Amino acid sequence: MSNTIDKVRILLVGDSGVGKTCLTHLIAHGESLHRPGWTVGCNIEVKLHEYKEGTPQQKPYFIELFDVGGSLSHKNSRSVFYAPTDGIILVHDLTNRKSHNNLRDWLFEILSKEGKDTYKPGSNVGAHKTANDEQNAFDPEEFVGAAQIPILVMGTKLDLVDERRQPKTVQKAGGIAEQCGAEEIWLNCRDPRSIAAGTTDAVKLSRFFDRVIEKKQQTRDTGFYGSGITDRRRYNTTSTMPYNMTNITTAANSMKPNSPTQTQTRNVLIEPNVL
Ligand SMILES: Nc1nc2c(ncn2[C@@H]2O[C@H](COP(=O)(O)OP(=O)(O)OP(=O)(O)O)[C@@H](O)[C@H]2O)c(=O)[nH]1
């Protein structure tokens, strides 16, 4: 019997400052990150997930979480991290409506076969948009229908929405999650209980990981990769694969604070020769 553990890769994208690094840390370690650094290139964390936990099909999988820096200054080079992609987490800040509106542009940027090269003129993540740009923006329903990549939408900073006692800047109805047919989670990334085992949101997240794994299995069985997001580009990482089982734990036992051995983190810097 083989000891190897299969893996899937999930991209986390969204505007700079929405909380992707905090969220990635929370998912991988089950604890909050108080002072995240500005992500240059991509920050990678790995989590061990039990596929279909509690059923006869239960099986461990590595979930690679690619937290891509959202800064506009790296827009031209970040597409090196987009392929291959098995699932996408779209992240927005619940106190910043623009970060939600920009998610369709992020989605388009990832799902474009050539990344930056086929980027629509009307889509410019993080930049000021004209009325004409809005008209040209792509329709997530059409695009996602063809790609069928599992998508999860996550709204951060729920604590700030409550504290300010302001109406939510983003409504679930009619939002990008509904347009894509995606599940949605709103949370406070600074509170480790947000996605603690047994909560509704932890179950949603676990089901999303299961869907990503199922989709990858289907892709392998049929030999058809619906999104067309294949690994066309070369990139360098600062650590090697595969992961060491002893370095990775499941979410269930990852609640011990500051344990550096629970997940592996790799920081990947974009190098000029990969473009
Ligand atoms: N109050 C509150 N602050 C949050 C939450 N999530 C993230 N933050 C804060 O938001 C700031 C930005 O978080 P990051 O995780 O660095 O954001 P990012 O999306 O990775 O940003 P880039 O690296 O620039 O792409 C940090 O000061 C976090 O502590 C949240 O749920 N609630």
For each of the domains in the chain, give its residue range(s) and CATH number, in order of start: 7-115+145-163+172-223 (3.40.50.300)
pLDDT tens digit sequence for 31-71 = 999 888 888 889 999 999 999 999 999 999 999 999 999 88
Q: How far is the CA of 267 from the centre of ligand 1 (A)?
A: 17
**Residue 223 confidence (pLDDT):** 56
Distances (CA, A) of 269 to 9, 37, 134, 237, 264: 18, 14, 32, 8, 16
Q: How far is the CA of 191 from the centre of ligand 1 (A)?
A: 12
- The CB density around residue 181, as the number of other CB atoms within 10 Å, is 12
The protein residue with its alpha carbon nearest to ligand 1, atom 3, reads: 157
Secondary structure class of 1 (helix, strand, coil): coil
Q: Does the predicted interface ipTM exceed a cut of 0.90?
A: yes
**Residue 167 confidence (pLDDT):** 54
State the Cα–Cα distance between residues 251 and 47, nearest whole angstrom.
Answer: 8
The protein residue with its alpha carbon nearest to ligand 1, atom 32, reads: 157
State the Cα–Cα distance between residues 261 and 114, nearest whole angstrom.
Answer: 36
pLDDT in tens, the chain (275 residues): 567 999 999 999 999 999 999 999 999 999 999 888 888 889 999 999 999 999 999 999 999 999 999 888 777 788 888 888 999 999 999 999 999 999 999 988 888 754 444 334 344 444 444 444 544 455 656 545 545 789 999 999 999 986 555 555 556 667 889 888 899 999 999 999 999 999 999 999 999 999 999 999 887 776 554 444 544 433 333 333 344 333 333 332 333 333 333 344 555 554 433 33
Q: How far is the CA of 224 from the centre of ligand 1 (A)?
A: 36
The protein residue with its alpha carbon nearest to ligand 1, atom 6, reads: 19
Atom of ligand 1 nearest to the CA of 69: 25
Q: Who lines ligand 1 at CB under 6 A?
A: 14, 16-22, 36, 38-39, 69-71, 156-157, 159-160, 188-190
Give the predicted TM-score (pTM) of the model: 0.77
Cis ω on the peptide bond leading into residue 140 (within 30° of 0)? Answer: no
| DSSP states of 110-177 | HHSTTGGGG--TT--TTS---HHHHHHS--HHHHHHHH---EEEEEE-HHHHHHHTPPPSS-STTSHH
